[in-house]
């Protein structure tokens, strides 16, 4: 279980990649991954291709990220969820709240 | 625990050493530190004295006859329960890594290698005592917290579950992963005999996720009791959860209304696994997937949010589950999944106990695996509710009053009137308003249930068939039934003309009274003669999906009459006390 972070040169694009189980145990690391990015208009990409599982507290964490992005007039894009993660996102109807790609 | 601490202001130390000389030396040092000292000359006696005196500190030699220090330490540590750590220090002259490692593994909290100065010895005792005090504080806090949590849990489940409706008919599985469950199961009876059921799953589990449970239960029950529509309840619950919960906490919820006299179920799934409709034979008739983000994420429901309406038969069952069931894992890390659930549910529907069948199946699958998430299920029968609905038959009230004066309001104690125009007809439900007027003026009473049913049926008829011009014939077959609700929804959305006017007048008797109801709509009306003809023709026993509402109203009313070409209905409801 890890959270990896990549920031573009202009700092406007932040990629947060989750590997393994995406659940409450990542809470602290996940929050730290974006809390210092305060540039207006930032785009946060949440890369989930390597996330094997996701629970409802992870959904809550994504909503916190969305809240953070909206305060900066930015956006959150969820990318490449695996089939099992996609199922969870679907049940929560997350596509009605933010963009899901791949 | 507090008692023992207060009683024992002197600390006790136990020295276990086969050398009487060593016992004496250590005893003197300990006395200088304020301890009362006991000593034993072998491990076995040491254990016996530990049991007898429950000391606050044990000093243990390693090489001793009968029972050595390691073995004695293991025994003592296995005996020390409760809030006291009872620190144990090995005193030895073996200055080896092996001795050090073995003494820690035997349960020792420290080791002191001879020779040492009295000052070093005292410092060691102080440091170990400090750790022991901390340990005890943590233990006491933990016990207090556990105690408080148990009390809070009991209070909460009393408030939430014991007030649920028809627990004898509705099957429930509730298996919490922690003391507090993040899942919540609610059921309530509506004034018109409908049953509202909600299964909710708050993010995570434990106390943190249980904070929203009480306000949710209160809102659900109060609004059900007052006769608000399912959609209004869902809207309010969403809004309340949004106001109340922090951003990362929300409520996945499935909401079901069973309407026996309409023969339909209203379903809304926001963030829970599919809701199931099973037939009597255990076949899956329909599944209803989540169509909305969980409650409490958005300030308002999405514009496309809507309830699904399905026709139901008496013997059907609606089953709600939380994800804890399908995600339960066994020792190999496999998940229970939907297929196993569906099989177990099918067996349960046929055998007559869904919750038992599913719970047994989940337990057999998971065996000794610790439970990771709350597990819950609600199993609701679609029929058999009529008996529980208290129908207050229209009382025969005969007095000198001339029936032609029925709608002359001069003798009324009060009158209430509300006219809704255009788009307000789709956004406002006037029935809870009317009921709250009656409750406020005349107080709460059981016979208002019947009045509620009469008002609801007549208002819905005026709106649907009058203002919206929907044909009730559509509801006579299943596909039409669904078509009807789709059409109703789309017409309501664009509604900007028309009106429905409701008038109530209240006439008290010495024991009992009469409420007169007039509802006028802006629709085209209908041919009264055709209407009565059709009613007369329709006396067959074949079950119908429409028209049951008005039959019920006729049973409840003293009189029911259509006027003005069917655009005005006048009803009179009488009760005696």
- Closest residue to A63, CB basis, from B270, B292, B297: B297
Q: Which residues of chain B have pLDDT under 70?
A: 1-9, 81-83, 204-205, 386-410, 476, 529, 531-548
Interface test with A, best of B178, B181, B238, B248 (most A CBs within 10 A): B248
- Listed in sequence order, the DSSP H helices in B198-313 are 207-210, 213-226, 230-244
Give the orientation angle of helix B69-79 with respect to helix B43-53, to 10 degrees. Answer: 20
Domain match, B384 and B410 both: no
Domain tally for chain B?
A: 3
CATH of the domain at B182: 3.60.40.10
Please tell me whether residues B204 and B134 are part of one structural domain: no
Dihedral pair phi/psi, residue B402, rounded to 5°: -80, 130
Domain-embedded: residue B153: no
Contacts of B208 (CB under 8 A, 6+ apart): B249
For the stretch B125-146, pLDDT in tens is 999 989 888 988 898 898 888 8
Taking an 8 Å cut-off on Cβ atoms, the answer to whether A56 and B272 are in contact is no
How many Å apart are CA A16 and CA B159, to the nearest integer? Answer: 43
Residue A57 with chain B: CB contacts under 8 Å: 203-204, 248
Q: Are residues B555 and B476 in the same domain?
A: yes
In a domain, residue B511? The reply is yes
Q: Which pLDDT score, from 0 to 100, does residue B544 have?
A: 45
Could you tell me if B473 and B381 lie in one domain? no
CA dihedral sign, ordered B146, B148, B154, B159: negative
Is B147 inside any structural domain?
A: no
Whether the CB of A52 is below 8 Å from some CB of chain B: the reply is no
Taking an 8 Å cut-off on Cβ atoms, the answer to whether A93 and B250 are in contact is no
B528: CATH: 3.30.565.10
Question: Minimal CA–CA distance to B349: which of B312, B320, B381?
Answer: B381
Residue pair B341/B325 in contact (Cβ under 8 Å)? The answer is yes
**Nearest of B501, B296, B264, B493 to residue B383 by alpha carbon:** B264
- List chain A residues with CB under 8 Å of B270: 93
Q: What CATH number corresponds to the domain at position B39?
A: 3.40.50.2300
Asked whether residue B373 is assigned to any structural domain, the reply reads: yes
Pick A92's closest partner by Cβ from B247, B294, B373. Answer: B294
Residues B58 and B28 in one domain: yes
Of residues B100, B101, B102, B129, the one with CA closest to residue B112: B100
Same domain, B171 and B276: yes
Q: Beta B264-270 vs B251-259: how paired, if at all?
A: antiparallel
Q: Half-sphere exposure of B56 toward its Cβ, with a 13 Å CA cutoff?
A: 23
Task: Note whether B203 contacts A57, CB cutoff 8 Å.
Answer: yes
Provide φ and ψ at B504, rounded to 5°.
-120, 140
**B562 phi and psi, to 5 degrees?**
-95, 140
Task: Sort residue B565 into left (φ over 0), alpha (ψ -120 to 50) or beta.
Answer: left
Closest CA of chain B from A28, distance in Å: 13
Residue-number span of the structural domain to which B323 is assigned: 161-388
| ipTM (interface pTM) | 0.80
- Of residues A76 and B147, the one with the higher pLDDT is A76
Per-residue model confidence (pLDDT) at position B548: 62
The predicted structure's pLDDT at residue B537: 61
- Answer yes or no: is B492 within a domain: yes
- Asked whether residue B296 falls in the same domain as residue B430, the answer is no
Q: Which whole number is the average pLDDT over A19-42?
A: 88
Q: B349 and B427 share a domain?
A: no
Same domain? For B308 and B407 the reply is no
Domain residues of chain A, as ranges?
2-101
Q: What residues contact B192, with CB distance under 8 A and at least 6 apart?
A: B227, B259, B261, B449, B452, B453, B456
pTM, entire model? 0.67
Bridge partners (DSSP) of residue B197 are: B187, B256
Q: Do B14 and B70 belong to one domain?
A: yes
Chain B: residue nearest A62 by CA? B248
Boundary of a domain, candidates B107, B142, B177? B142
> End of a domain among B94, B109, B142?
B142
Select from B91, B112, B142 the last residue of a domain: B142
Torsions phi, psi for A23 (to 5 deg): -145, -165
Query: What's the CATH code, domain A2-101?
Result: 3.30.750.24
Q: Are residues B327 and B369 in the same domain?
A: yes
Looking at the structure, tell me whether residues B506 and B556 fall in a common domain.
yes
Check residue B38 and give its pLDDT: 94
B277 burial (CB, 10 Å; 0-12 / 13-18 / 19+) is buried
């Amino acid at each position: 279980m890890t959270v990896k972070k990549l920031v573009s040169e202009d700092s406007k694009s932040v990629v947060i990649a989750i590997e393994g189980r995406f659940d409450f145990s990542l809470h602290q690391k996940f929050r730290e991954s974006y809390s210092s990015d305060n540039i207006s208009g930032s785009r946060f990409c949440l890369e989930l291709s390597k996330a094997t599982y996701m629970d409802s507290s992870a959904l809550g964490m994504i909503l916190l990220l969305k809240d953070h992005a909206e305060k900066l007039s930015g956006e959150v894009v969820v990318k490449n969820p695996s089939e099992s993660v996609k199922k969870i996102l679907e049940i929560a109807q997350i596509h009605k709240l933010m963009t899901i790609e791949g | 625990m507090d008692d023992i601490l207060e009683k024992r202001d002197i600390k006790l130390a136990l020295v276990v050493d086969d050398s009487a000389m060593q016992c004496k030396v250590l005893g003197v040092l300990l006395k200088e530190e304020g301890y009362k000292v006991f000593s034993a000359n072998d491990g076995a006696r040491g254990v016996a004295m530990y049991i007898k005196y429950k000391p606050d500190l044990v000093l243990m030699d390693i090489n001793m006859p009968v029972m050595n220090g390691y073995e004695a330490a293991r025994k003592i540590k296995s005996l020390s329960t409760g809030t006291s750590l009872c620190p144990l220090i090995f005193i030895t002259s073996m200055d080896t890594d092996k001795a050090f490692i073995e003494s820690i593994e035997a349960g020792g909290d420290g080791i002191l290698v001879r020779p040492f100065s009295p000052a070093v010895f005292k410092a060691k005792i102080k440091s170990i005592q400090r750790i022991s005090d901390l340990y005890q504080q943590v233990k006491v806090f933990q016990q207090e917290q556990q105690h408080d949590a148990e009390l809070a849990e009991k209070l909460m489940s009393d408030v939430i579950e014991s007030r649920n409706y028809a627990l004898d008919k509705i099957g429930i599985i509730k298996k919490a992963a922690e003391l507090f469950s993040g899942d919540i199961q609610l059921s309530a009876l509506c004034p018109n005999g409908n049953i509202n059921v909600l299964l909710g799953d708050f993010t995570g589990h434990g106390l943190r996720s249980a904070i929203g449970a009480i306000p949710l239960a209160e809102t659900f029950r109060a609004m059900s009791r007052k006769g608000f529509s399912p959609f209004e309840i869902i809207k309010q619950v969403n809004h309340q959860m949004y106001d109340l919960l922090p951003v990362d906490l929300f409520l996945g919820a499935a909401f079901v209304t069973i309407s026996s006299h309409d023969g339909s179920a209203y379903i809304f799934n926001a963030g829970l696994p599919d809701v199931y409709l099973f037939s009597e034979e255990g076949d899956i008739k329909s599944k209803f997937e989540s169509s909305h983000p969980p409650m409490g994420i958005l300030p308002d429901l999405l514009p496309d949010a809507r309830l699904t309406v399905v026709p139901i038969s008496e013997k059907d069952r609606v089953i709600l589950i939380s994800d804890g069931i399908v995600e339960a894992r066994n020792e190999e890390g496999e998940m229970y999944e939907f297929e196993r659930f569906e099989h177990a549910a099918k067996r349960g529907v046929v055998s007559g106990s869904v919750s038992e069948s599913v719970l047994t199946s989940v337990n057999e699958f998971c065996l000794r695996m610790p439970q990771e998430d709350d597990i819950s299920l609600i199993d609701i029968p679609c029929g058999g509710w009529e008996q529980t609905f208290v129908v207050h038959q229209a009382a025969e009230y005969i007095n000198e009053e001339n029936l032609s004066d029925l709608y002359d309001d001069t003798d009324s104690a009060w009158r209430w009137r509300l006219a809704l125009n255009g788009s307000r007809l789709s956004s406002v439900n006037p029935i809870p308003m009317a009921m709250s007027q009656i409750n406020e003026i005349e107080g709460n009473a059981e016979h208002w249930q019947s009045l509620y049913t009469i008002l609801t049926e007549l208002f819905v008829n005026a709106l649907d068939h009058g203002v919206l011009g929907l044909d009730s014939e559509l509801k006579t077959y299943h596909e039409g039934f669904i078509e009807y609700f789709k059409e109703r929804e789309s017409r309501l959305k664009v509604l900007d003309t028309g009106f429905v006017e409701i008038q109530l007048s209240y006439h008290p008797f010495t024991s009992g009274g009469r409420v007169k109801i007039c509802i006028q709509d802006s629709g085209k009306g209908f041919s009264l003669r055709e209407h009565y003809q059709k009613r007369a023709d329709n006396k067959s026993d074949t079950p119908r999906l429409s028209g049951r509402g008005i039959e019920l109203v006729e049973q409840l009313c003293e009189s029911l009459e259509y006027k003005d070409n069917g655009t005005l209905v006048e009803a009179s409801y009488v009760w005696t006390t």
